[in-house]
Structure 1
Amino acid sequence: MNVAHLHIAYLMTRIVLGALALFPLAALAEAGEDAAEPARRVAEMTQTFAHNLAEQLRQIGTALNELEGEQLGTQLWLATIELSDLLIIIGVTVALLFALRPVARPFFIKAEKWAQQGDERLHTLRRAIGVSSAALADLATVLIAWLGGYALALFLLGETGSIEMRQSLFLNAFLITEGVKAILRILFAVRNSGLRLLPIETDYASYWNSRLARMAGLIGYGLLFLVPLFSRTISDLVGQLATLIIMATAFFYAMTVALRNRNDMRKRLEASAAKAKVMFTRVTLSTLAWTWHWLVIAYFGALAVVTVTQPESALPYMAQATAQSLIVVVLGALIAVALTQATSRRIHLSAEKRQHFPLLEGRLNSYIPIALKAVRALIIVTVLALLLDAWGLLDFFAWISSEAGLNIIGIVVSVGLVLIAAIAAWIVAASWIEHRLNPEVGKGKPTAREQTLLTLFRNALAVVLVTLTTMIVLAEIGINIGPLIAGAGVLGLAIGFGAQKMVQDIITGVFIQLEHSIDVGDIITAAGVTGTVEKLTVRSVNIRDLAGTFHFIPFSSVDSIANFTRHFAYHVGNYGVAYREDLDEVKPHFEAAYRELKNHPDQEIADAVYDEFWLDGVSSLGDSSVNIRIRIKTAPGMQWAVGRAYNELVKKEFDKAGIEIPFPHRTLYFGQDKYGRAPAARIENVG
């Protein structure tokens, strides 16, 4: 078979694939035009295809005339003689690569052991570092082998200091192709499962590593070495035919592998999607589970068609876009994994700080997942933008440097700083309030007033921070908050008129709190209800009375408050004695009862009695008793307990002294008839 026959076969094959090539060519040519002119574009595509078909038929006739009688075997023999030095370089370079791999093997084993040691929570981060180190070592072996082949070509073969084009083609193809294979080896880590980034079994990793390595070798060595070699040493026609064969083989091989593994890969992706915690990851994996094989077929089909039709520009473009996409995705995944591992360790405060700020540790740890989700969202957006940039759909770096890009980045940074400042302010304020309310530190147990005011202050601060942060964020993203503030004022005025009672409740409650009139635990009388204050808000007081009834009293219903537990109290008692008793003898017994009260066996009652006792004297002359009033100063809220204890002691003192405590006397009248005679009354003494 001569070159003309090869040329004819190539051109005929290209004609058959012309329809397949037509769409990508037209799509590339018309990418920037208006999509609203489909009829004109179809006409132009049809015209272009007809011209290409006619040109290809003309080239077939020209090849028949120019290459008639030229034998392919003679050219191949001459090329073999000229390329003998190339075979030596190929052999030496490949031999160096295989010789260096066992030397780097112990380094991989050490990196694997190091990655599996240490804290389990940092296992993924250590594995990422180990994988990076192993990748550098594997790429170093490729680089050393390439340098060995390069040195051989420069100094030992041919003219010293110069290198032939065919030798340079192989060495460049070797460096690129083996570099890609090294990345695949690191990704799947067939021999070092501890360094494997993908969560798959060893057999499965070996399967995909071998298939992708074959694909990389076929496309890399084929397009970067064999095709330009054939074009330079034989003819451009042979190079074009080799390109067609290589890309057709790669396409059918990729399609076969994708279709053969589509069900297994779908099950694995669906399982990974079910385990994913991030919604974006779960949706992405679920979508890929049903479409991944079509994406692979479409990618290699487009690569094959574009490479055959536009080999000068398509291959570098596709290679650069693919490499950039892989690098962006891998780096984004590594950063996300590293952040997850770095934030998996909870923040632990010292025992002293936990004692002073008991809720601070939990509060800090609660913000970590929120921050991690925000960073993940930023990573996802950046990765998507860089992917669009890789395929020419978005000039990401030009957009960043543009006015719109700088404005958006400035807004994101400003909003982030505002949110961070608001969160920091809340953490500081809430921690300070917790410190003041903590009875184990500071000034000891806080008073009821402090508890109430600090609780109200914390709630008010939360409302103020949320409102201010929302307003500032809206202003940063470009929303005019002036109408919002004006609308809020009008709305507040309308609410004020419609809810006057509520406004009155709040205003009265604020002043009551500021004046320290009521605390939780106080015994008060408000709105005719006497009881213990169980809950106090800015607009109401909740009282539990002696019968256990719970009263909800809004402050607008409170005209006055009687607080029985503020500062101190008095037990005021009126004790009656019989008229026959000598008051001078009675009074010392009240004082004796007071002295016994101060030494009461119940220490709480004894401590509640102050050193102030007043015997006021006779308060009134009753129907059957002389009433004497005494007053005892007590601790606030203890006047009732002290009074009950004192009454008991007074009774005992009177009993010992024989002092009569008067009781009601009753006269029985049996009546009489009209003659003044009283009827007999039967009296029976029941002993």
Structure 2
Amino acid sequence: MRSPIPFIHCVVVLLALLCSTMASAQPAEAQGTDYRALAAALEDEHTRRVVIEELRRLDALSPSEELAPLPPAEELAQEAPSGQSAEQVSFARRMAAFTSGLAGSMGGQLASAGQALSRLFASSDSSSSVKVDFSGLWSAVFNLAIIALATFAAFFVLRRLSGRAYSALNDWATAGSERLTMVRTIVAVSVAALVDAFVVAVAYLLGQAVSVQLAEYVGANGTRLSLFLNAFLIIELIKVGLRTVFANRYPALRLAPLDADQAAYCNQFFARLVGAVGYGILVLVPIINFNVSPALGSALSTAITVVAAVYTAIVVIKNRVTVRQRLEARSTAIGGSSGSLVYVLAKVWHLLVIAYALLVVAVTLVQPATALPFVVFATLKTLAYAGGGLLLLVILRQLIGKEIHLSEGLNASMPLLQARLNTYIPTALKLVRLLLIIGVVVMSLDAWAVFDLAAWYASAQGSSTVSALVDILIILAVAAAVWIALASAIEHRLTPSADVEPAAAARATTLMGLFHSTLAIVIVVMTTMIALSEIGVDIGPLIAGAGVLGLAIGFGAQKLVQDVITGVFIQLENAMNVGDFVDVGGNSGTVDRVGIRSVALRDLYGTYHIVPFSSVGAVSNFTRDFGNHIGEYGIAYREDIDFAIEQLKAAFEELEKAEIGENILAPINVMGVVALADSSVNIRVQIKTKPGMQWAVGRAYNRLVKLYFDKAGIEIPFPHTTLYFGEDHQGNAPAANVRISDRANVVSTQE
């Protein structure tokens, strides 16, 4: 059983001929009845001949030539003698069936074209001959030549007059600061494209005016003239886009990173290709179809496509090395993953272009009537999407590469804000770049009918996916903004000034790290939960599980929780800082590190102590605000106390004049006699010093006190020992064995 496609095609041809006949040949009052118009169309000899020729061409086609897509596996499974299922039909067999159909289609088109040419040049008395009105054909060609000459003349004159506008835009784009170069370039290129499109539109309108005059005074067919004018409008607007990318005369209006010669070469190549294919298929082929034979027109359309593909392949092969070198240099300049992709593209770009040209030829051979318009519009859409995406990628790459600089005041109050902005904003722009690439790919697939974007978005799954993606992006943006704002506020509040003491700076650094860590954990957890809820994940069990886990951790790690909480309050109360000498948990030493759950001390012997905050009952800080040296000096009972106090004050006066005296904050405070000890009278003094300097000042003062007491002859008591050898009943002492030693020998005597 034959496919119904030829019948449908025939109906479409009849309707098209009917519409064209009703629009151009029939009077206005005859367009009201469809049956009358259809009868009039069939009575016309030329229309009837075209329909008969189309029916003969469709009858000559084989079923394999009528089906363009890859044969379904179900059809091949039905033809299999082995009875294999559709799932068992291999892709190789389907490709073989497709190529077989492609070869059959090519043979069918060549056969149809041969039959049309044979009937065209057959003898006039043959029943199969096709009569061609050469006089009408030459008249149509002459009228088209007139309208083409008038339209192109108007177009070139207007282009010449608009040259000053392009030159002014080029000068404006190159002037000004470098920071706004991209913005000025985009504005200048957009305005230049609008001016160029306006020139094309004006030339098109002038051509329409000339076509009206030709139709009125010469009797030219307005439909044929409109064929050319519509083709002119479409092709020249495409060339406007080409001139936007490859403007060779105005470098500032050129989007492609090429020099003038390379831009001119690319512009000429694409302009020739678009002009030849466009005017051939949109003008010449319809005229051949209408006046000679649809089979011949189809063969001509295929020949134009094949010639264009061969020409493209030749140019690509000729320039493959030059383009490859430029792309490799570009990949080196870009670097990273993008540079790697550009490097791979440099190696295979010519193969991709040739494969695309072969694909266009194959689709044209399989479906000559509908494939080429689809390919053209899909290609234009893809180029438009890729060009717009590439332009945005260039802008994003320039924005990513630019570093943000804040004022000195902001850097002083919030020192990490500039680094944070230079980290998060480029990351966000990279995410936008990735989404842009995905969008270009999806829209390009939609242009080639591989993916129906509109239908997918109209479905519940598509709309929910897009909505969830947008919500997640907004959530991430808000979370980043909240983090930047709160972290900057913490830095502004805790960042010490330049003249602050080292202790305060250390405390601020510790608190800043603690608050940053806590804030980051809270924001990450909340953002993750909200994002999961947006994509449809039920976060109720997660929250419940987190609560149970937190409760278990709380019971199992009470000490850890106590360490953290105690450490937070110790830091908030500024109990100790790095560099302080403290006594905590039974250990004394200099604070080496203050963490979230413990403090590290280094004692005088160099021993490193780690004391958890849970074991800290009290903090004794010896280096907070100021220090006191408390000294007790004993003198003999026979010494004058007031004279000794005068010597203590004299020693302090000399201490103040010494280098270490700069650490003394107040005059000496003689607190008086504090004890009448067993062998001495103890006098206590107090010297107020800078924090941490009380021990050094005390050591220096003790030295001076010893010197002054010795000079004044004041005795500093020390323990005395009396040896008693005992007595007998007569009062005589026993003999003592005394040894007198010197450096040479030892002499023993007895008494």
1:575 is matched with 633
Task: Identify the match of residue 554 of structure 1 among 603, 612, 615.
Answer: 612
User: How far did residue 190 of structure 1 move?
Assistant: 2.6
Cα root mean square deviation, aligned: 4.8
User: How far did residue 76 of structure 1 move?
Assistant: 2.5
**Structure 2 counterpart of 1:79, one-letter code:** L
Measured in 1, the distance between the counterparts of 2:410 and 2:106 equals 80
- SS of the aligned residue for 1:479 comes to coil
Task: Identify the match of residue 461 of structure 1 among 519, 532, 544.
Answer: 519
Task: Identify the match of residue 263 of structure 2 among 196, 205, 215.
Answer: 205
1:5 is matched with none
**1:374 and 2:418 correspond:** no
**1:424 and 2:486 correspond:** no
User: How far did residue 657 of structure 1 move?
Assistant: 4.3
**1:654 and 2:706 correspond:** no
Range with bigger deviation, 292-301 or 330-339: 292-301
1:640 is matched with 695
Range with bigger deviation, 225-234 or 15-24: 15-24
**1:396 and 2:449 correspond:** no
2:166 is matched with 108
1:348 is matched with 405
| Deviations, residues 192-226 of structure 1 (Å, cap 9, x unaligned) | 33433223344433333322222211210000001
| Deviations, residues 38-77 of structure 1 (Å, cap 9, x unaligned) | 4998999889998998999799889978984349897333
**1:190 and 2:245 correspond:** no
**Structure 1 counterpart of 2:636, one-letter code:** A
RCO comparison, higher one (Cα < 8 Å, 6+) = 1
Distance 1:556 1:145, change over 3 A: same
Q: Does the 8 A contact of 1:97 with 1:141 survive in 2?
A: yes
**Structure 1 counterpart of 2:638, one-letter code:** R
User: How far did residue 381 of structure 1 move?
Assistant: 1.3
Q: Does the 8 A contact of 1:122 with 1:341 survive in 2?
A: no
Task: Identify the match of residue 123 of structure 2 among 69, 87, 97.
Answer: 69
User: How far did residue 146 of structure 1 move?
Assistant: 1.8
**Structure 1 counterpart of 2:681, one-letter code:** V
User: How far did residue 577 of structure 1 move?
Assistant: 0.9
User: How far did residue 386 of structure 1 move?
Assistant: 0.8
**Structure 2 counterpart of 1:186, one-letter code:** T
Q: Does the 8 A contact of 2:580 with 2:621 survive in 1?
A: yes
TM-score by length of 2: 0.76
Distance 1:554 1:429, change over 3 A: same
Matched residues, percent identical? 42
**Structure 1 counterpart of 2:350, one-letter code:** H
| Deviations, residues 448-492 of structure 1 (Å, cap 9, x unaligned) | 545433432222222222222223222322233344444445555
Alignment of structure 1 residues 278-317 onto 2, 5 Å: 279=337, 281-282=338-339, 284-307=341-364, 309-317=366-374
| Deviations, residues 412-455 of structure 1 (Å, cap 9, x unaligned) | 22222222222222222222232233333899984754543343
Task: Identify the match of residue 166 of structure 1 among 212, 220, 224.
Answer: 224
**Structure 1 counterpart of 2:468, one-letter code:** I
Distance 1:519 1:339, change over 3 A: same
**1:330 and 2:387 correspond:** yes
Range with bigger deviation, 141-150 or 306-315: 306-315
1:4 is matched with none
2:191 is matched with 133
Q: Does the 8 A contact of 1:24 with 1:302 survive in 2?
A: no
**Structure 1 counterpart of 2:466, one-letter code:** I
**Structure 2 counterpart of 1:117, one-letter code:** A
Q: Does the 8 A contact of 2:651 with 2:705 survive in 1?
A: yes
Q: Does the 8 A contact of 2:582 with 2:588 survive in 1?
A: yes
2:497 is matched with 440
**Structure 1 stretches of 5 or more lacking a match?**
1-8
User: How far did residue 548 of structure 1 move?
Assistant: 4.2
Task: Identify the match of residue 208 of structure 2 among 129, 150, 163.
Answer: 150
Measured in 2, the distance between the counterparts of 1:502 and 1:543 equals 19
Measured in 2, the distance between the counterparts of 1:294 and 1:11 equals 40
Range with bigger deviation, 103-112 or 609-618: 609-618
Measured in 2, the distance between the counterparts of 1:680 and 1:313 equals 133
**Structure 2 counterpart of 1:578, one-letter code:** A
Q: Does the 8 A contact of 2:289 with 2:296 survive in 1?
A: yes
Task: Identify the match of residue 327 of structure 2 among 269, 278, 298.
Answer: 269
Q: Does the 8 A contact of 2:64 with 2:101 survive in 1?
A: no
Q: Does the 8 A contact of 2:140 with 2:224 survive in 1?
A: no
Distance 1:548 1:169, change over 3 A: same
Measured in 1, the distance between the counterparts of 2:359 and 2:64 equals 9
TM-score by length of 1: 0.82
1:357 is matched with 414
**Structure 2 stretches of 5 or more lacking a match?**
1-52, 78-84, 744-751
User: How far did residue 120 of structure 1 move?
Assistant: 3.4
User: How far did residue 29 of structure 1 move?
Assistant: 12
Measured in 2, the distance between the counterparts of 1:682 and 1:88 equals 144
Range with bigger deviation, 674-683 or 419-428: 674-683
Task: Identify the match of residue 530 of structure 2 among 464, 472, 476.
Answer: 472
Task: Identify the match of residue 465 of structure 2 among 389, 408, 411.
Answer: 408
**1:24 and 2:68 correspond:** yes
**Structure 1 counterpart of 2:403, one-letter code:** R
- SS of the aligned residue for 2:611 comes to strand
User: How far did residue 374 of structure 1 move?
Assistant: 0.9
Q: Does the 8 A contact of 1:127 with 1:194 survive in 2?
A: yes
For this pair of structures, how many residues does the alignment match?
Answer: 674
User: How far did residue 376 of structure 1 move?
Assistant: 0.3
Distance 1:183 1:450, change over 3 A: closer
